[in-house]
């Protein structure tokens, strides 16, 4: 099968499209023919090994000290089940699914991926394409975990900084689902996008400094981890909650979260935002674009032939 492999850390050009052995499912696995995956900021950081200083040592052990231990990136995917292991009961051949690969050594940048039946794997929402569904497990679950730590109640005022990014676009929609009054902060080019997602107010950070305003919020969520925490907290009401995508997302993805998001999607309350789609053969260009730091929502990579 074809897969994008990287055997050393470095610029996007270290990614190489190669033929590798097709995986074989164990008794408890399903074999997914991948139709779409994504390029996230996390993928680009793992590829280049540009991680925050406080994560450097742990990341070296996890990712590989001298070279990558997990040579195929891709933290989420959508596709079709091609075969199932002997003991699998929850899925069948032909099912359209979407999944996180974070807990199973990544691997979305390939034509096939084996996933455990009891992993973060579910039937694809009926109203999403494969490209859209592939963008849900990572950013949407991250936004959900962060916002749940804020214990948002109906009527509360929530500010989301970085509202046009992958996590931010989901956070705006989820906060509205929780009944919040939402203020999104983004650049000039993305004001209309964030409004279209349901934000009650949008601040252009290139023209207005939210930290110097008299407006205060019950929850401030920095969805891109770019504002110094001390500054962001100036916008909080007394007793308010500060959330940061790097420190508030917790650990351990749960299938219950993915199923909850699927319900919201099928009810029309949540929809992934797609900036660009690239074929697998253009993975280097996709990484270059994401690395610029200006993507709107998600960048998707088409692997299979479904639409």
Q: Which fold has domain 140-244?
A: Rossmann fold (3.40.50)
Return the pLDDT at 55. 76
End-to-end CA distance of the chain: 20
Q: What is the pLDDT of residues 43-63, one digit of tens each?
A: 999 999 988 777 778 888 888
Closest CA relative to residue 244, chosen from 130, 103, 153, 147: 147
Average the pLDDT over 198-207 and give the result. 96
* Cβ contact 115:29 at 8 Å: yes
Return the pLDDT at 107. 98
Domains 2-137+255-302 and 140-244 share a fold: no
Alpha-carbon distance 136 to 153, whole Å? 24
Average the pLDDT over 190-209 and give the result. 96
In this prediction, what percent of the chain has a pLDDT beyond 70? Answer: 99
- Model's pTM, two decimal places? 0.94
CA dihedral 122, 16, 49, 146 (to 10 degrees): -20
Domain 2-137+255-302 CATH class label? alpha beta
Residues near 58 by beta carbon (within 8 Å), at least 6 away in sequence = none
Looking up tokens 């996180």 gives: 100
Q: What is the pLDDT of residues 129-161, one digit of tens each?
A: 999 999 999 999 999 999 999 999 999 999 999
Q: What is the pLDDT of residues 239-263, one digit of tens each?
A: 999 999 988 987 778 999 999 999 9
Give the helix ranges, DSSP H, for 117-269: 130-134, 139-149, 166-177, 191-196, 229-232, 255-266
Return the pLDDT at 275. 98
What average pLDDT does the structure give for the chain?
Answer: 95
Return the pLDDT at 60. 80
Going by pLDDT thresholds of 50, 70 and 90, the confidence category of residue 307 is very low
In this prediction, what percent of the chain has a pLDDT beyond 90? Answer: 88
Average the pLDDT over 199-206 and give the result. 96
Q: What is the pLDDT of residues 7-44, one digit of tens each?
A: 999 999 999 999 999 999 999 999 999 999 999 999 99
**Domains of the chain by residue range:** 2-137+255-302, 140-244
């Amino acid at each position: 099968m074809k897969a994008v492999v990287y055997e050393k850390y470095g610029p996007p050009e270290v990614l190489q499209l190669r033929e590798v052995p097709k995986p074989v499912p164990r008794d408890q696995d399903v074999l997914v023919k991948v139709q779409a995956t994504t390029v996230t900021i996390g993928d680009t950081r793992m590829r280049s090994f540009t991680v925050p200083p406080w994560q450097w040592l742990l990341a070296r052990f996890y990712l590989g000290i001298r070279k990558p231990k997990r040579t195929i990136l891709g933290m989420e995917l959508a596709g079709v089940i091609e075969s199932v292991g002997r003991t699998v009961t929850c899925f069948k051949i032909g099912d359209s699914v979407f999944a996180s690969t974070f807990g199973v050594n990544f691997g979305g940048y390939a034509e096939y991926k084996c996933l455990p039946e009891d992993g973060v794997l579910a039937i694809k929402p009926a109203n999403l394409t494969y490209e859209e569904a592939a963008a849900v497990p990572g950013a949407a679950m991250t936004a959900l975990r962060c916002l749940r730590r804020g214990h948002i109640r109906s009527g509360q005022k929530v500010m989301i900084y970085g509202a046009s990014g992958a996590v931010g676009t989901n956070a705006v929609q989820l906060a509205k689902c929780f009944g919040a009054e939402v203020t999104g902060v983004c650049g000039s080019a993305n004001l209309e996008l964030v409004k279209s997602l349901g934000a009650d107010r949008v601040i252009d950070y290139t023209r207005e400094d939210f930290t110097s305003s008299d407006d205060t919020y019950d929850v401030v969520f920095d969805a891109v981890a770019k504002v110094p925490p001390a500054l962001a907290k100036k916008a909080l009401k007394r007793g308010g909650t500060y959330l940061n995508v790097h420190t508030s997302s917790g650990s351990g993805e749960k299938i219950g979260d993915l199923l909850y998001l699927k319900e919201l999607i099928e009810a029309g309350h949540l929809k992934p935002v797609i900036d660009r789609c690239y074929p697998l053969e253009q993975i280097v260009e996709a990484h270059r674009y994401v690395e610029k730091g200006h993507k709107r929502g998600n960048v998707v990579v088409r692997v299979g032939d479904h639409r």
